[in-house]
Structure 1
Amino acid sequence: MISDAIPIIDITALRFGDAVGTKRVAREIGEACRDIGFFYVRGHGISKERIDNVFKNSAQFFALPLEDKMKLSMERRSRCFRGYAPVLSELADGKRNSYELMEFSVDFDESHPDVLAGKPMHGPNLWPDIPGYRAAISNYVADMIELGFDLMRAIAISLSLEDDYFYRAFHGRSFWQFRTTNYPEPEELRRLAEQNPQTGPIAEIERGDYSCGAHTDYGCLTILLANSPGLQVCDRQGNWFDAPTIPNAYICNIGDMLQYWTNNLYVATRHRVLTDRARISLPFFFQPDFDTIIVPVRGEHDSQDRRQEPLKYGPYAFDKYKGIYPNCQLR
């Protein structure tokens, strides 16, 4: 079933400085966050060239032989959740997902004090030897960070907060995660799985019934682009519906951390992926700074008794990632 429950919001005014239009955008985003937790955005200002380039480079990487991709293995080469994860090696809803991925985050050199101190999730990204790949990913991430802060500005306005509330709470920086994910067709999935039988804790976990199992995102805001349909969303009545891929539009959803931050005013929504077609998706997870303390916003109808306790983002995220990647060596 396809539903019109997810609104399509033109954010041109937000992106390009129209104060009156920004209030309208903020109102529409706020309504979407309360009602369904998902919204599409048009007028985002990200160039087609930039988008096409990251899709092209992602496809080039996933087309490499498995042995070449495994040289960047998250499990074997990273201690901070960076690099390549093969099919059936990452979890959602307690079961193994049917895609392969590359995971990136804020890039810290091995000599950085936080890396030397063993701070969780801090370390370098891993890069394939594909000309232009690193530049394509890095340029796209820079665009996503700008878009993320603009969307969080609209969310702040929708909550009657100062427009830079989240920018200040993030300490002016995001501890983002970015994935390029490849959903193979069934025969290719079978071939890749046979090439790399799983060992360790994840080998005891069953494969999911969906390409990606039902879940809510654990962070603040997800900004997603995909080149093929497959995303499904669960409404407040428990009904699942298809969220189509709309040309030149991102689909955004709020995560558990923003639900916590808004004291449950904005609610994260369960979603999943079901597809038997080749699909590349680009989820960008716009998160607070690792050291941000999440202090739930008090609504006009909230009593002190109903307000949740402050929460430090970094340890929360680390626990979540340990659950997603049970085979990974950890810093």
Structure 2
Amino acid sequence: MSIPVIDFSSYSLRKEDVSEEEMLGLSQQLKAAFTEVGFVFLENTGITQEEADRVLDLSHEFFLQPDELKQPFSSKKCVINPNHGWLSVAAEKLNPCRPGDIKESFNLSSLHPDIKWPTDGLTDFKEIHTSFFHRCKELSLRVLRLMAHSLGLDPEVFLSAHRLVGTDGNSSLLRTLYYPPVNYEEVKEGQMRCGEHTDFGSITLVFQKNKGLQVLGLSGEYIDVPLIPGAILINIADLMQRWTSDRFISVEHRSLLPDGGDSETRQSAAFFLYPDNETQITCLDGSDKYSPVNAGFYIKECFKAVAVEN
């Protein structure tokens, strides 16, 4: 199995319109990828490698600071939004059967004016992360439009359920991740950088700085995800699979410990698109394959399930 690569230039963020012929071609390619693999690479989206690198480089500066300087921005201290802010190493275990993941992250999940942002030595941290959040949002909505088109649905079926992205009525987030050097003498049995899991919401956009991600193939074996400069990796998440009654598939993925020595690090960023909190997710084909679920409640419970109590 390989992950398909699609040229998205005809519906790039640099373009205002897309022809019906181009829409049909793109939507059919996406449908094939999301029904057979669950993942796809998009090239020429309008979001450049330079934009992604700027966010990753700035977040890297933040992660390299001592923990005491990052602590004021901990998600545990964010009263406005508990999913916004810094999470320390092993603060999550995405596979609940394993020890805490050897990664740390910073979540942009709220644009509330009273949110406290890192500033010390980190020029334009808020502005750069916020701008990238909006760029990811716009690309995600274009992908949703194509996904609806591929299933013969009115695009508003998906778009109307994501109108509040960037507000307190929606939990979508931009997450930058840092996988630090690994001390193998301290690693617990079964511990990974990121345990096997599926994502929670609608779709996820992934920006890789280094290799290390693996995706579960149809054969039941994990495959290494290649690094394609400038391309964005996009995958289906759980609520979208429920919504489409398994037409689009949400696939397990993970990040193993490095095999290049304990000094090897990894960076990535992911934009997790979720439906608006009050959206009721019901099977679009009218079946009862999945029972209806409130998106906000579902996402909240997923976060609770992966959190490590310190």
> What secondary structure is seen at the aligned counterpart in 1 of 2:290?
coil
Q: What is aligned with 1:311?
A: 293
Any residues of structure 2 matched to 1:107-146 within 5 Å, and which? Answer: 107-109=111-113, 124=115, 126-129=117-120, 130-146=122-138
Distance 1:190 1:139, change over 3 A: farther
Aligned pairs for 1:17-166 (under 5 A) are: 17-19=17-19, 20-78=21-79, 80-94=82-96, 95=98, 96-109=100-113, 124=115, 126-129=117-120, 130-166=122-158
Cα shift at 1:127: 3.5
Query: For 1:177-192, what aligned pairs fall within 5 Å after superposition?
Result: 177-187=173-183
8 Å CA contact 1:153, 1:165 repeated in 2? no
CA drift at 1:312: 1.1
The 3-state SS of whatever aligns with 2:126 is helix
Tell me the residue number matched to 1:283.
Answer: 270
Point out where structure 2 has 5 or more consecutive residues left out of the alignment. 259-263
Q: Does the 8 A contact of 1:44 with 1:147 survive in 2? A: yes
Per-residue deviation, residues 11-47 of structure 1 (Å, max 9, x unmatched): 1112332321121111111111110100001011013
Counterpart position of 2:261: none
Whichever residue aligns with residue 47 of structure 2, its letter is I
Quote the offset at 1:214 in angstroms.
Answer: 0.5
Indicate the SS of the match to 1:284. Answer: strand
Q: How many residues align?
A: 293
Does the CA contact (< 8 Å) of 1:229 and 1:275 recur in 2?
A: no
Structure-1 residue corresponding to 2:247:
265
Q: Residues 58 and 23 from structure 1, CA distance in 2 versus in 1: closer, same or farther, beyond 3 angstroms?
A: same
**Amino acid aligned to 2:150:** S
Is it true that 1:6 corresponds to 2:6 in the alignment? no
2:288 is the counterpart of 1:296: no
Q: Give the share of equivalent positions with the same residue, in percent.
A: 26
> 1:75 corresponds to which letter in structure 2?
K
State the shift of 1:97 in Å: 0.4
TM-superposed deviation, 1:172: 5.5
Task: Determine the C-alpha separation between the residues in 1 that align with 2:94 and 2:280.
Answer: 26
**DSSP 3-state at the match of 2:83:** coil
The corresponding residue for 1:201 is: none
Shift in Å, 1:190: 7.7
Q: Secondary structure at the match of 1:135?
A: helix
Comparing both structures, which one devotes a greater share of its residues to helix?
1
Normalising to structure 2: TM-score of the pair? 0.87
Given candidates 200, 205, 229, the residue that maps to 1:223 is 205
Contact 2:90 2:308 in 1 (8 A): no
Look up the equivalent residue of 1:175 and give its one-letter code: S
RMSD: 2.2
Tell me how far apart the structure 2 counterparts of residues 228 and 260 of structure 1 sit (CA, whole Å). Answer: 31
After superposition, the Cα gap between the structure-2 partners of 1:48 and 1:244, relative to the gap in structure 1 and judged at 3 Å, is: closer
TM-score where L is the length of structure 1 = 0.82
Structure 1 segments of 4 or more deviating over 6 A?
Answer: none
Cα distance 1:163–1:320, how it changes in 2: closer, same or farther (>3 A)?
same
User: Runs of 5+ in structure 1 lacking a partner?
Assistant: 111-123, 194-205, 299-303
SS of aligned partner of 1:229: coil
CA contact (8 A) 2:199 2:237 kept: yes
- Paired with 2:52 and 2:146, the residues of 1 have a C-alpha distance of 23
Structure 2 Cα separation of the partners of residues 227 and 13 of structure 1:
26
> Which residue identity does 1:171 align to in structure 2?
R
CA–CA separation in structure 1 for the residues paired with 2:45 and 2:116 = 27
CA distance in 1, matches of 2:190, 2:156: 41
